[in-house]
């Protein structure tokens, strides 16, 4: 009789946990079956204990979503998933972080499992419900994560997220002003300002900071849209007085025949409208900005209308 009952409970337990990606408390599992069924499930390898009183199925033990759910269960109702963890769930990051980032209100310190990273917040921020979890919205999550992200990739991540519409630069700027302490604040503030001014990539930001810095070049129109024969063209920098466009070619386009072919056709169409296109490559902008600036000055001077 015990075996029949135990088998029935085991089947009920397996049915309960096999259709959702989440964590379970010991009380939740036991109330649906029995404490003995839980012990049997652990012994048989169906359930894995992540921390005291919290379990996931064996097949979900490496699942980021299940572990994030467990981390929030550990944190309690005031916990919020943030940083790289929230950015991964929002689709901003392609790979999940090795630690789950959680924020808690000040004064709620406790012993923390090694796979959970906790920060304590002094100001509230916007959150959203993701399945059954409370997570930070993309902008506060980015502010929290920015200083931990690799230096070489953090700016490109922000540009990409803004371009895709997953992050609003206005909301990001407002949220940044509300947070008193931020890792790499100055870099993030400069980046937000650059994007607000029209920069759309790390290369364009470098160009704005190192090439187009003279009084003659600062007045150029940035990200200027022109329509020629019904087709719209966006120019990185444009001088309407001399009808000169400056384009910055990223490293990703180097050696890309298809992109190069499109650029040649584009430059020809603009030339037909009397616009000269001057292109600076990634290496030139990053390694010899003074040379780029000198060339830009010479081109503009040669094309000035008497």
What are the pLDDT digits (tens) for 121-141?
888 899 999 888 999 999 999
Cα 266 to its chain centre, rounded Å, is: 31
Query: What token pair was written down for 28?
Result: 């939740």
Task: With 0.85 as the threshold, say if the pTM is over it.
Answer: no
Average pLDDT of span 268-272: 95
pLDDT at 292 over 90: yes
Cα–Cα distance measured from residue 102 to residue 175, given in angstroms and rounded to the nearest whole number: 18
Cα–Cα distance measured from residue 266 to residue 274, given in angstroms and rounded to the nearest whole number: 13
Of 104, 37, 41, 42, give the one whose Cα is nearest residue 76: 104
Q: Are strands 244-249 and 276-281 parallel, antiparallel or unpaired?
A: parallel
Cα–Cα distance measured from residue 150 to residue 211, given in angstroms and rounded to the nearest whole number: 25
> What is the per-residue pLDDT for 305?
64
Task: Identify whether the C-beta of residue 71 lies closer than 8 Å to the C-beta of residue 100.
Answer: yes
Average pLDDT of span 165-192: 93
Average pLDDT of span 257-281: 92
Q: Maximum Cα–Cα distance for the chain, whole Å? A: 104
Three-point CA angle 50, 54, 57, nearest 5°: 70
Cα–Cα distance measured from residue 21 to residue 60, given in angstroms and rounded to the nearest whole number: 7
- Percent of the chain topping pLDDT 90: 60
Could you give the domains of the chain? 7-60 (1.10.10), 63-197 (no CATH), 205-303 (3.40.960)
- Supply φ then ψ for residue 33, to 5 degrees: -135, -95
pLDDT in tens, 146-167: 999 998 789 989 998 998 899 9
In sequence order, what are the residues at sequence separation of 6 or more whose Cβ sits closer than 8 angstroms to the Cβ of residue 157? Answer: 92, 93, 149
> What is the per-residue pLDDT for 42?
87
Of 231, 127, 143, give the one whose Cα is nearest residue 182: 143
Of 14, 52, 58, give the one whose Cα is nearest residue 32: 14
**E runs forming strands in the chain:** 24-25, 47-51, 54-57, 80-81, 100-105, 116-121, 127-130, 133-136, 221-228, 231-239, 244-249, 276-281
With tokens 């894995």, the residue in question is 48
pLDDT in tens, 187-215: 999 999 989 888 888 888 889 889 999 99
Cα–Cα distance measured from residue 245 to residue 221, given in angstroms and rounded to the nearest whole number: 9
- Supply φ then ψ for residue 107, to 5 degrees: 85, 10
């Amino acid at each position: 009789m015990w075996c029949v009952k135990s088998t029935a409970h085991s089947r009920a337990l397996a049915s309960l946990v096999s259709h959702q990606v989440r964590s379970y408390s010991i009380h939740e599992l036991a109330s649906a079956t029995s404490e003995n069924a839980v012990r049997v499930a652990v012994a048989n390898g169906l359930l894995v204990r992540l921390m005291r009183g919290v379990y996931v199925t064996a097949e979900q033990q490496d699942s980021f979503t299940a572990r994030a759910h467990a981390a929030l269960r550990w944190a309690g109702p005031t916990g919020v998933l943030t940083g790289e963890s929230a950015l991964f769930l929002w689709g901003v990051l392609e790979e999940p972080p090795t630690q789950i980032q959680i924020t808690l209100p000040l004064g709620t310190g406790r012993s923390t499992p090694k796979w959970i990273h906790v920060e304590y917040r002094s100001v509230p921020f916007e959150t959203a419900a993701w399945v059954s979890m409370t997570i930070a919205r993309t902008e506060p999550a980015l502010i929290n994560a920015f200083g931990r992200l690799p230096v070489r990739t953090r700016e490109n991540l922000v540009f990409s997220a803004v371009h895709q519409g997953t992050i609003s630069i206005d909301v990001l700027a407002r949220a940044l002003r509300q947070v008193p302490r931020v890792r790499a604040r100055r870099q993030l503030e400069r980046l937000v300002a650059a994007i607000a001014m029209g920069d759309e990539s790390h290369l364009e930001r470098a160009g704005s900071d190192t090439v187009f810095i003279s009084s003659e070049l600062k007045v150029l129109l940035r990200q200027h849209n022109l329509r020629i024969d019904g087709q719209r063209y966006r120019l990185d920098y444009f001088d309407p007085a001399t009808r000169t466009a400056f384009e910055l070619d990223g490293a990703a386009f180097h050696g890309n025949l298809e992109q190069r072919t499109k650029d040649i056709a584009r430059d020809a169409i603009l030339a037909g409208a009397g616009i000269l296109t001057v292109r600076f490559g990634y290496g030139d902008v990053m390694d010899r900005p003074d040379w780029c600036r000198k060339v830009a000055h010479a081109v503009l001077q040669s094309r000035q209308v008497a």
